[in-house]
A and B are shown apart, each in its own frame.
Chain A
Amino acid sequence: MAARIHGGAATALSTFNPKKLVAPSRTNLPAARSSKRCIVAGGGSDASKKSLSVRHSQKLIANAAVATKAETSATTGTGHELLLFEALQEGLEEEMDRDPHVCVMGEDVGHYGGSYKVTKGLADKFGDLRVLDTPICENAFTGMGIGAAMTGLRPVIEGMNMGFLLLAFNQISNNCGMLHYTSGGQFTIPVVIRGPGGVGRQLGAEHSQRLESYFQSIPGIQMVACSTPYNAKGLMKAAIRSENPVILFEHVLLYNLKEKIPDEEYICNLEEAEMVRPGEHITILTYSRMRYHVMQAAKTLVNKGYDPEVIDIRSLKPFDLYTIGNSVKKTHRVLIVEECMRTGGIGASLTAAINENFHDYLDAPVMCLSSQDVPTPYAGTLEEWTVVQPAQIVTAVEQLCQ
């Protein structure tokens, strides 16, 4: 069991049966809606309160990147449907309208409209001084954003791909994370650093990086990962309003997710996890794109008679140990499914945190399914095998629940 989970590509290949594998290609997924009930926590106008009270219940589409209809039974208004990148844009635009200190800087965010269209139309509306097209110098423009933040501006720094932010690591670690501390509290750095990351569709090793693991040790920053249009907009707004530096991780393959979101203004809590599907047998912790793989696996698991509780942890730093803990105390079994690398990834930290805090409540060791510790290959089949697939999740749950 351990070998399969922790093993390298060779072991993984030997247990795969490609024919049985549910292919992640978008065109194969059924267009039917899932009937999962999703409780979204912390929405609405007083989102700063950390309440887990149920505000809306929405039917959430569990399949990734397929445009399907969603209906909402939200109590207020009818809501409007949009794609995830449009939700990010809406959040950004609302915050820029609200506060003149918010500005955006990044490569091709202005006239081009953003490489993933998140900043489309903003340059026309707000002008070149607020939506800044930078030259290709991540180190410098991240540093510039941080310097501007020291004076009170609130820049939103976009990395065209999260992997490029490695060039700005010094600025993010030393200046962004630590300046508030080393200045004795004199300077605050209210920046938002955002960008798409994760394994895409055959983008190659350098453009398929998951940087959550590298940034997670930096003291002084917060990290969040969005996964649905609802939480994308909410987290974007919350991140911009936060006084702490926040890194918002988006995923390349999730930009075209469609969902209906409320018309009225809402913010998601930055430090809260989202209960996707409550259950009794096992807690599955996940974030970003793997949420959809988990939900797909959950369908199979439900048919097999299991009742998994799925939590989208959303907040990667700090972990919402309150929600996670309550879940562990209920189910006593934990499976972590993530796209991050095995070594030193978010799952590794989460495993350590759960073991430290909730050891007495566990009936089985915490299992962590992560991507293989390999550079992401170009070939499509190999790329599939580097990330966790729903079939593996099903098998892992079955093993844990024995």
Chain B
Amino acid sequence: MALSRLSSRSTTLLQPLATTSLLRRRHISTDTTPITVETSLPFTSHLISPPSRAVETSSQELLSFFRDMALMRRMEIAADSLYKAKLIRGFCHLYDGQEAVAIGMEAAITKRDAIITSYRDHCTFLGRGGGLFEAFSELMGRTTGCSKGKGGSMHFYKKDASFYGGHGIVGAQAPLGCGLAFAQKYSKEEAVTFTLYGDGAANQGQLFEALNIAALWDLPAVLVCENNHYGMGTAEWRSAKSPAYFKRGDYVPGLKVDGMDALAVKQACKFAKEHALKNGPIILEMDTYRYHGHSMSDPGSTYRTRDEISGVRQVRDPIDRVRKLIIAHDIATEKELKDMEKEVRKEVDAAVAQAKESPIPEPSELFSNIYVKGFGAESFGADRKELRATLP
């Protein structure tokens, strides 16, 4: 009786999240008192002194990391099942395993800093504030999608959050990203652009062209190489003579970061932003890993062993790392975290269900947004009768 009275009193003190009847005081999830954590690995640097390994974080931040990464992971797995159910077609590139890069980056920057990435953009979109419903609708080609169903998996954009997509051609986003940085410098915005590309794109000529211009004109550009060690089916040692991607900038400083550690990513991005605002471009190499294949058409096991994949999952998984941190610092219990994951799963399932009900685009949508201000030119389909529209 006394116990239950005590527990009922303690439940008013505790967050609704807590369902246990523990009586001892613990961190609540909105606590922002700083906790200092050491990154798992030291930073390796090129032409610059690396930032400290001690990262400041807080319970609130760690819990939000956990929740957001769990959301991203769940979204990608749901996308996997949707693809196999043929509701998502075409190319679908999944980001599970690499969530720490998106999350850590968001923690270090504001919505005024721009991010541009390649086609593996679902989680980056979510990190920038994109909604699950918009993401799933876009993947399934519905009008409620973030690009009105006309972009697809590789073309997620969110202009109000400075997320510039979402690009299908490998490496083409590198010059675009430097253009964004140029515009920020031109308009004196005190913001930086994070241009993400992969280890496959690191061999593109246009990357080096863009890097040269960025360094020459001191643009606030941070180039982030998400090195998941495989360019589709080709391992990095088979495609790059020098797989030290952070050193390839030559005259541009670089930093190698453990991309599976969200706190290390956060520290590196914060450091890079400060550097770019003052001294011009910097390259960050995120050492990360993707569990799925390159895309849903790639089983992912013909060029690497299943042992390798499960090994990384056991030892380096980003969500597990944050989970362990949270439990070690007593921010939440194992059960609470599991409940959080269940909640996230429900949220994702609800978004999928809602997206499945969304309408497909009207035929007239075929002709909208080709030109901004049109001129009444006519466009029509083969029979010239059914599908006929005046470009607005």
| Partner-B contacts on A (CB < 8 A) | 50, 103, 129, 132, 134-135, 137, 139-153, 170-171, 174-175, 179-188, 190, 219-220, 222, 242-244, 270-271, 318
Contact = CB atoms under 8 A, between A and B. Distances in A.
A140 B175 CA distance: 5
B372 A181 contact: no
Given A139-B206, A143-B179, A144-B178, A174 B168 contact: yes
A188 B213 CA distance: 24
B147 A182 contact: yes
Nearest to B207: A140
Interface stretch (B4-12, B159-167, B269-277, B303-311): B159-167
A140 B205 CA distance: 9
Given A180-B370, A182-B147, A185-B148, A140 B375 contact: no
B377 interface: yes
Given A184-B150, A243-B372, A139 B169 contact: no
A51 to B, nearest CB: 14
17 contacts: A129-B186, A132-B217, A135-B212, A137-B209, A137-B210, A140-B212, A141-B213, A144-B213, A147-B175, A147-B176, A148-B180, A150-B176, A150-B180, A151-B114, A183-B166, A184-B147, A187-B159
Contact of A137 (B182, B187, B212): B212
Interface in B138-195: 145-152, 155, 157-159, 164-169, 172, 174-180, 182-187
A175 B171 CA distance: 12
A171 B172 CA distance: 7
A174 B373 contact: no
Given A142-B175, A147-B182, 13 more contacts: A135-B213, A137-B209, A139-B206, A139-B209, A140-B213, A143-B210, A146-B179, A147-B177, A174-B169, A181-B370, A182-B150, A190-B372, A242-B373
B176 A135 contact: no
Interface in B115-159: 116, 145-152, 155, 157-159
B242 interface: no
Given A140-B213, A183-B157, A184-B146, A150 B372 contact: no
B237 interface: no
Interface of B: 114, 116, 145-152, 155, 157-159, 164-169, 172, 174-180, 182-187, 205-206, 209-210, 212-213, 216-217, 368-373, 375, 377
Q: In this complex, which of A144, A174, A242 has the most chain B Cβ atoms within 10 angstroms of its Cβ?
A: A144
A237 to B, nearest CB: 15
B151 to A, nearest CB: 4
B372 A188 contact: yes
The B interface is mostly helix, strand or loop, or mixed, namely loop
A184 B172 contact: no
A245 to B, nearest CB: 9
A28 to B, nearest CB: 41
A143 B172 contact: yes
B213 A146 contact: no
Given A129-B186, A146-B179, A140 B206 contact: yes
Contacts of A175: 167, 172, 176
B331 to A, nearest CB: 38
A222 B371 CA distance: 9
Contacts of A149: 179
Which 8 interchain pairs have the tightest Cβ spacing? A147-B179, A143-B175, A140-B209, A137-B209, A147-B176, A184-B148, A144-B179, A243-B372
A134 B166 CA distance: 26
Contacts of A185: 148, 368-369
B200 to A, nearest CB: 16
Contacts of B150: 181-182, 184
Q: In this complex, which of A134, A175, A184 has the most chain B Cβ atoms within 10 angstroms of its Cβ?
A: A184
Q: In this complex, which of A50, A150, A219 has the most chain B Cβ atoms within 10 angstroms of its Cβ?
A: A150
A182 B372 contact: no
A139 B370 contact: no
Given A148-B182, A183-B157, A143 B176 contact: yes
A32 B149 CA distance: 61
A180 B186 contact: no
A137 B177 CA distance: 15
B212 A144 contact: no
Contacts of B217: 132
Contacts of A180: 369-372
A147 B368 contact: no
Nearest to B180: A147
A98 B199 CA distance: 43
Nearest to B374: A244
A43 to B, nearest CB: 18
Contacts of A183: 147, 151, 155, 157, 159, 165-166
Q: In this complex, which of B149, B169, B172, B175 has the most chain A Cβ atoms within 10 angstroms of its Cβ?
A: B175
Given A139-B205, A148-B183, A184 B372 contact: no
